[in-house]
């Protein structure tokens, strides 16, 4: 008899996908004989390599139009999945699993998709803020399964570590000095980004006080932002923004003594690797999307309009304006 095949629809954002890892591991624990596959957008697929309990990953097409969903549904149907766990809350993701004729479809009853699910888990009522990692684990417990603790462990293959070491050597990063990786971007939008000139001033002071080497990273769409930070620094940093793949970026983060970032995917990647993280928070709530575990620190200032869901601040960006360079340098110094 062939093993049960379960398909997990991963979240669309890098950080959310990292926070979903304990829920995926919990699913594997509860179905030890099953094949667990992950379906995701292409840009997060590298977070789910085959092995360590994941049978394989499938890249989903962009878009949620009915033609796209029908085509993707036919492709998934051919894989013969027995059950599907939706870690996304959209109607379109539940419709995709329905079109794929996956017999068991499990997820939160959100976005009007309850009739498309065979096991509908009610989302928590309004109350204390729940961290995103706990919300994913709540889906596991809501299904009557045993969840893991909310701890995230990402491991790098030895080849990935060696490749990161070579990459750093090739761009002239000397050994024996602390490496501070700075990620000044945030894919969600500029509202989540601390100011480029303040990242630059902070990096200059870390270099001066702690003899740190500074490496700028980020997505391909953030190259102009990285150049703005680099241009504002007294000495040009090392810049790899837009160049590494997601797995290569993991390798680089794993070599860091500290990662300084906004509320972003690389913040959660570094935190999952056990690398010290300092996260600057503006419009978002660290109780929900902050680093899950130590070593980490969060810098956040109060603002009357906080929290908000704006991608770009329509006012004076006071939540970020209130965060000073001294605040961030002091937090970073605890890890260097």
Residues 168 and 278 in one domain: yes
CA–CA distance, 82 with 142 (Å, rounded to integer): 19
The pLDDT, as a whole number, for residue 199 is 98
**pLDDT tens track for 130-171:** 999 999 999 999 999 999 999 998 989 999 999 999 999 999
How many structural domains are present in the chain?
A: 2
Question: Does 27 score more than 90 pLDDT?
Answer: yes
Whether 50 maps to a domain, the answer reads: yes
Q: In which band, very low, low, confident or very high, does the pLDDT at 190 lie, cut at 50, 70 and 90?
A: very high
Q: Sorting pLDDT into bands at 50, 70 and 90, what band is 181?
A: very high
Give every CB contact of residue 217 below 8 A, 6+ residues apart in sequence: 181, 182, 183, 226, 240, 241, 244, 249, 252, 253, 266
Residue 72 lies in a domain: yes
Residue 100 near residue 77, CB atoms below 8 Å: yes
Q: Which helix (H) or strand (E) holds 248?
A: helix 246-254
Mean pLDDT of 123-128: 78
For residue 8, the model assigns a pLDDT of: 98
Q: Can you give the CATH number for the domain in which 305 is found?
A: 3.40.50.2000
**Residue 187 — very low, low, confident or very high, per pLDDT cuts 50/70/90?**
confident
One domain, residues 162 and 311: yes
Is the predicted pLDDT of residue 125 greater than 80, yes or no?
no
- Token readout for 113 is 């998709």
**At residue 52, does pLDDT exceed 80?**
no
The dihedral formed by the CA atoms of 145, 147, 153 and 154, expressed in degrees to the nearest 10: 30
Give a yes or no: residue 151 inside a domain: no
Quote the domain boundaries for residue 198.
158-333
Is residue 16 in a domain?
yes
Question: Is 101 in the same domain as 130?
Answer: yes
Residues 12, 134, single domain; the answer is: yes
Tell me what the mean pLDDT of segment 280-292 comes to: 96
Tell me, yes or no, whether 36 and 132 share the same domain.
yes
CA gap 244, 247 in Å, rounded: 8
For 269-289, what is the mean pLDDT? 97
Q: How many Å apart are CA 81 and CA 7, to the nearest integer? A: 7
Whether 196 and 124 share a structural domain? no
Integer-rounded Cα Rg, in Å, for the chain is 21
pLDDT recorded at residue 127: 76
Q: Whole-model pTM?
A: 0.95
Which pLDDT score, from 0 to 100, does residue 213 have?
A: 98
pLDDT digits (tens, 9 = 90+) for 207-255: 999 999 999 999 999 999 999 999 999 999 999 999 899 999 999 999 9
What rounded mean pLDDT belongs to the chain? Answer: 95
């Amino acid at each position: 008899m062939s093993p049960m095949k379960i398909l997990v629809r991963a979240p669309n954002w890098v950080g959310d996908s990292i926070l979903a890892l304990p829920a995926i591991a919990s699913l594997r624990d509860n179905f030890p004989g099953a094949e667990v596959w992950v379906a995701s957008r292409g840009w997060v697929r590298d977070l789910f390599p085959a092995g360590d309990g994941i049978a394989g990953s499938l890249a989903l097409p962009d878009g949620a139009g009915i033609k796209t969903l029908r085509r993707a549904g036919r492709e998934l149907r051919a894989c013969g999945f027995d059950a599907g766990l939706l870690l996304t809350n959209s109607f379109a993701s539940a419709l995709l699993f329905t079109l794929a004729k996956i017999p068991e479809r499990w997820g939160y009853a959100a976005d009007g998709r309850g009739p498309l699910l065979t096991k509908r888990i009610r989302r928590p009522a309004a109350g204390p803020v729940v961290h995103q990692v706990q919300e994913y684990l709540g889906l596991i417990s809501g299904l009557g399964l045993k969840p893991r603790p909310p701890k995230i462990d990402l491991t790098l293959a030895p080849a990935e570590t060696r490749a990161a070491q070579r990459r750093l050597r090739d761009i002239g990063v000397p050994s024996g000095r602390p490496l501070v990786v700075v990620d000044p971007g945030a894919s969600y939008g500029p509202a989540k980004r601390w100011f480029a000139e303040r990242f630059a001033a902070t990096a200059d002071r870390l270099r001066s006080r702690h003899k740190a080497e500074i490496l700028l990273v980020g997505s391909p769409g953030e190259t102009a932002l990285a150049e703005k930070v680099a241009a504002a620094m007294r000495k040009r940093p090392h810049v790899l923004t837009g160049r590494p793949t997601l797995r290569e970026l993991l390798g680089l983060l794993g070599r860091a003594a500290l990662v300084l970032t906004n509320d972003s995917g690389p913040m959660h990647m570094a935190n999952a690797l056990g690398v010290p993280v300092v996260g600057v928070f503006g419009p978002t709530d660290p109780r929900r999307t902050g680093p899950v575990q130590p070593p980490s620190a969060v810098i956040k200032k109060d603002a009357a309009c906080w929290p908000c869901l704006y991608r770009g601040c329509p006012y004076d960006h006071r939540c970020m304006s209130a965060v000073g360079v001294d605040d961030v340098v002091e937090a970073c110094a605890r890890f260097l």
